[in-house]
Structure 1
Amino acid sequence: MNKPELLAPAGDLEKLKMAIVYGADAVYLGGEEFGLRKASKNFTLEDIEEGIRFAHKRNKKVYVTLNIIPHNEDLIGLDEYVSELEKIGVDGVIVADPGVFSVIRRVAPNMPIHLSTQASATNYETIRFWYDLGIRRIVVARELSLDEIKEIKKKLPKDLEIEAFVHGAMCISYSGRCLLSNYMAGRDANRGECAHPCRWKYNLVEEKRPGEYFPIYEDEKGTFIFNSKDLCMIKYIPELIEAGICSFKIEGRVKSQYYVATVIRAYRKAIDEFFRYKKNYVYKEEWLEEIKKASYRDFTTGFYFKKPTGDDQIYENSSYIRKYDFVGLVLDYDKKTKLATVEQRNRIFVGDEIEIFGPNKEFFTQNIEEMWNENGEKIEVAPHPQQIIKMKMKEPVEEWDIIRKARKD
């Protein structure tokens, strides 16, 4: 068995670097146009080029999303953009639309193209169609079970790669092909502007009984609008590999830097442990507990083992569960003085109990005994965003290590 690629979201350059440092084999990102995540900061061409240099120096890959479902005006400038991506060395592009595909083939015939989940590839004949056109990686629709993925792998050539989402937010609509946001908020999800109305709380009102609000829930006949739990497959690494999935995709380009580091680190550990021990591999509950220290909704296995039911949805609210805050990023460490230089990310106080973890170390806990500002003055609190402070560490730390604090609310 080949070790699967761990593919991380990168909403901006900082998140790209964090994902790679914390164990991603590749990242996917969006430029300022032609992608489906306008809510993330996204990348200028200069940012993409810097990200590629950072990744390639560490033998990692960068893929760019061009998965918009375009109208005529959305195609303006696509030729030039694809040409620029080719020049700066992008490792592949992610595409959903046949027209965008044809432009890339014309402008950059050697560019690797991955078929986006937005294309809703759910069967081996559809995938064979795209394979015959030259695509060698398919991001399969989220509506497929592991058994269906196995069948696709058996019926198609061995050089076809299957990429699948294994963690993150789930969409109500068929692999993201949603009209609800456009209808209710005037924001077209298929052109990168989803307002996520599936997360809103709804009641049903009958025309002749105004003011009477009936709750929306699921029964044996189905449901109306639903707010899905988050996908989490960290318990099932062996099953994912056995099914033939070669790239484990994490959702979350609009999620935080801390979220990316936490989730990627947990999946990295699980994958590496599987390939270290093979038949003697044992899943560790601590990996899931670490994931739960980033923001999350309750978890589901999506469509992998069965068709989702009401148990896979959330009807009470659309809020995330947040048990910890990201409060600092280590920039430097002096072994002699044991002082760490830290960039503050949330307010922290002398006396706070904190946890520190890194890409290659388990977390340790300590209390903040003293802090100093950039002028060397003692301070009791670091209240300013991205304030540079120093604090003593009871164990050695490194650049990129993260400091978190349990929330009291």
Structure 2
Amino acid sequence: MKKIELLAPAGDLEKLKIAIDYGADAVYFGGEMFSLRAGAGNLTIDEIKEGVYYAHAKGKKAYLTVNIYAHNEDIKPFEEYLNKIKDINIDAFLVSDPGILLLIKEAIPDAEFHLSTQANMTNFKAAEFWHQQGIKRIVLARELTFEEIKELHSKMPEGMEIEAFVQGAMCISYSGRCLLSNFMIERDANRGQCAHPCRWKYSLVEEQRPDEYFPVEEDERGTYILNSRDLCMIDHIPELINSGIVSAKIEGRMKSVFYVATIVSAYRKAIDAYYADPENYVFKEEWLNELKKVSHRQFTTGFYFNKPTNKDQDYQTSAYTREYTFTGLVKDYNPETGIALVEQRNKMSIGEEIEIFGPNDDFFTQTLQIMMDENGEPVESAPHPQQLLQIKVNQPVASGFMLRKKK
């Protein structure tokens, strides 16, 4: 049985490598231009070369996202950009604009194309149309149920693949095609600059009383009428696989390296456990608990089982739940001394309890007892961003392991 692909976001080169190391089968990333995540770090052309090489060396795939809806002024710069990247062995291009698709075809005749969710692909006739344009894989709009996905899979052209989001933020607009941000502050969501006004607080104003603002109160903190919970499908791996989806996609190119590692690792374990014994597969609550250790909103299954109701919205706050803090990234480890070289990411102090986890490993807990600076001088706390520390760990670790602590 061919395994479903676990597809992870890579907002920059570090996240790309971490996603691969923590179990992703493929990564998707944007360049410095023409991607719908202008706020992400994104990759320079040299970083794209390095990232693609890194993925291929590990037997993984790398997809470039170029899913803007281009305006006339974008065409010439995009042609110039294609000339710079056309010799990089990118596995597929995620596109939504037919003009962008045409330009890539002209510059890279043998390119593979995946249709971005921005194209709002919701039916098998649309799949047939896009197949005729050379699209191999469709990234479904988030507004489809399992029943619709199964029918689409049974009727779409042979050889065409389905990719679908399984984890991450939900857009209140139709699969991301939102004009609210552009209307309010002239930041175009369809060109990568969404300000997420759907998660702002709102009040009601009556036409004849323009200076009187009536709060539409849910509680004392305000009202969030367009504030969706985060999608989470880790406890529905069998349904995802049996629906015909070939690629399970994690949202979050603007998320932290800690987020990417944690989410990818949890889904990797759940997916592998299913394929190891499909008949006796049992979901483990610990996988879901891991997801809750990164910054998140409350969870929902989105449209997969039914159309969302008021229970899939969060009316109390648009803030994230942050129960754990990412405190350090292991850069090196000496097995003879048990000392790990750690790059600090948030403050940690002697006496605090920390959790340490890595690729393919469960976390372990220890009290922080021995911590030194780069020169071997003992320190009580590590308040300086990205300072290098020597930390005594109770179990073997390796480069890429992460430290976290509960708030």
- Kindly, what percent of the aligned residue pairs are identical? 58
Aligned position for 2:67: 67
SS at match of 1:88: coil
Is the Cα contact below 8 Å between 2:349 and 2:381 reproduced in 1? yes
The residue type equivalent to 2:381 in the other structure is: V
**How much does 1:202 deviate?**
1.1
**How much does 1:246 deviate?**
0.2
What is the distance in 2 between the residues matched to 1:62 and 1:199?
Answer: 32
The residue type equivalent to 1:152 in the other structure is: L
**How much does 1:69 deviate?**
0.6
Deviation track 1:153-206 (CA, whole Å, cap 9, x = no partner) reads 101233111000000000011110010000011100001110110011112111
Aligned position for 2:114: 114
Aligned position for 1:335: 335
Is the Cα contact below 8 Å between 2:127 and 2:157 reproduced in 1? no
What is the distance in 2 between the residues matched to 1:75 and 1:225?
Answer: 38
- Root-mean-square deviation (CA, aligned residues, Å) is 1.3
Aligned position for 1:323: 323
Deviation track 1:388-407 (CA, whole Å, cap 9, x = no partner) reads 01111111111111000001
Aligned position for 1:213: 214
What is the distance in 2 between the residues matched to 1:139 and 1:55?
Answer: 21
What is the distance in 1 between the residues matched to 2:86 and 2:111?
Answer: 7
Using the size of structure 2 for normalisation, the TM-score is 0.97
Aligned position for 2:101: 101
Aligned position for 2:278: 278
**How much does 1:79 deviate?**
2.1
The residue correspondences of 1:290-305 to structure 2 (distance < 5 A) are: 290-305=290-305
The residue correspondences of 1:113-152 to structure 2 (distance < 5 A) are: 113-152=113-152
The answer as to 2:172 corresponding to 1:172 is yes
The residue type equivalent to 2:342 in the other structure is: V
Aligned position for 2:15: 15
The residue correspondences of 1:6-405 to structure 2 (distance < 5 A) are: 6-209=6-209, 210-215=211-216, 225-405=225-405
The residue type equivalent to 2:214 in the other structure is: Y
**How much does 1:224 deviate?**
9.5
Is the Cα contact below 8 Å between 2:68 and 2:96 reproduced in 1? yes
What is the distance in 2 between the residues matched to 1:39 and 1:45?
Answer: 17
Is the Cα contact below 8 Å between 1:67 and 1:97 reproduced in 2? yes
Is the Cα contact below 8 Å between 1:353 and 1:365 reproduced in 2? yes
**How much does 1:63 deviate?**
0.5
Alpha-carbon distance change, 269 to 58 in structure 1, aligned in 2, over 3 angstroms: same
The residue type equivalent to 2:269 in the other structure is: K
The residue type equivalent to 1:59 in the other structure is: G
Segments of 5+ residues of structure 1 without an aligned counterpart are: 218-222
The residue type equivalent to 2:141 in the other structure is: A
SS at match of 1:266: helix
**How much does 1:212 deviate?**
3.9
What is the distance in 2 between the residues matched to 1:224 and 1:109?
Answer: 47
**How much does 1:82 deviate?**
2.4
Deviation track 1:364-399 (CA, whole Å, cap 9, x = no partner) reads 100011211011111111111111011111111111
What is the distance in 2 between the residues matched to 1:288 and 1:206?
Answer: 44
The residue type equivalent to 1:305 in the other structure is: F
User: How many residues are paired up?
Assistant: 402
Deviation track 1:32-77 (CA, whole Å, cap 9, x = no partner) reads 1111000101111001001011111101111111100111001122
Is the Cα contact below 8 Å between 2:6 and 2:24 reproduced in 1? yes
What is the distance in 1 between the residues matched to 2:344 and 2:336?
Answer: 22
Using the size of structure 1 for normalisation, the TM-score is 0.96
What is the distance in 2 between the residues matched to 1:196 and 1:54?
Answer: 33
Aligned position for 1:220: none
Segments of 5+ residues of structure 2 without an aligned counterpart are: none
Deviation track 1:60-112 (CA, whole Å, cap 9, x = no partner) reads 11111110011100112222322433301111110001111111111111100
Is the Cα contact below 8 Å between 2:224 and 2:315 reproduced in 1? no
**How much does 1:216 deviate?**
6.8
**How much does 1:27 deviate?**
0.5
Aligned position for 2:406: 406
**How much does 1:214 deviate?**
3.6
Is the Cα contact below 8 Å between 1:35 and 1:192 reproduced in 2? yes
